[in-house]
Amino acid sequence: DLGNGNTLNDITGTFDTVVVYEGSASLYLNGAGQNGTSNINLGTQLTVSVWVNVDNPIQSSLNTIMANTFTGEESNGFKLCINLWGESDQSVLIEVGDGSTGGKWVTESGLIQPGSWYHLAFVIDQPNQAIKIYYNGAQAPLSFMSNQGYTLQQFDYSFNTAGPFTIGTFPFGPYGFKGHLDDMRVYNRVLSDAEIAKIAQEK
């Protein structure tokens, strides 16, 4: 597991002691480029666990929880977001690219209602060619889609999972998260269904 001794750097958001899920404060980001950065090494198998509470009304377009690469589906790396690009559909997605092709794994719409806390977990398992999203402790059904016309058959699960990571935006600021993040945990392994369910039940 990671997290012990690993902290966010250069945090430009604010710590809110009123809207909190766990502990004494949550991180509030205003959607306008506020973020934090971290340079931990995740390897090819990773899990990101986080509590989210988006502002009401939900900010249109991507609300980025974590990213290590830039715009464009084919950009080499991954992005963890709420909402499809240009929409307010309240879905959850992982967008990944390998430098030449890419796409997104997306939940159904309407999962993230503004003003409420939800637990999300994102799993990337490159050796086993698996990408998963968990919603309030349970694995969510996902569909693959691409705005650029890429197909799942074109994708080879060989994309960058190294840092630096930006929490709350794409690197250098676009597509900011507007709302609260709490108890973010990053693991350099794939957590089991039971482990993720247990974290989602903690308070």
User: How much is the pLDDT for 156?
Assistant: 81
User: How much is the pLDDT for 174?
Assistant: 85
109, 89 contact by CB (below 8 A)? yes
User: How much is the pLDDT for 2?
Assistant: 36
User: How much is the pLDDT for 4?
Assistant: 41
* Residue showing tokens 């990213």: 67
Q: For the chain, list residues with pLDDT below 70.
A: 1-9
The structure tokens listed for 126 are 């490159």
pTM: 0.93
Query: Which of 174, 132, 148, 127 minimizes the C-alpha distance to 74?
Result: 148
Q: Helix or strand or coil: residue 176?
A: coil
Query: Which of 45, 63, 201, 186 minimizes the C-alpha distance to 119?
Result: 201
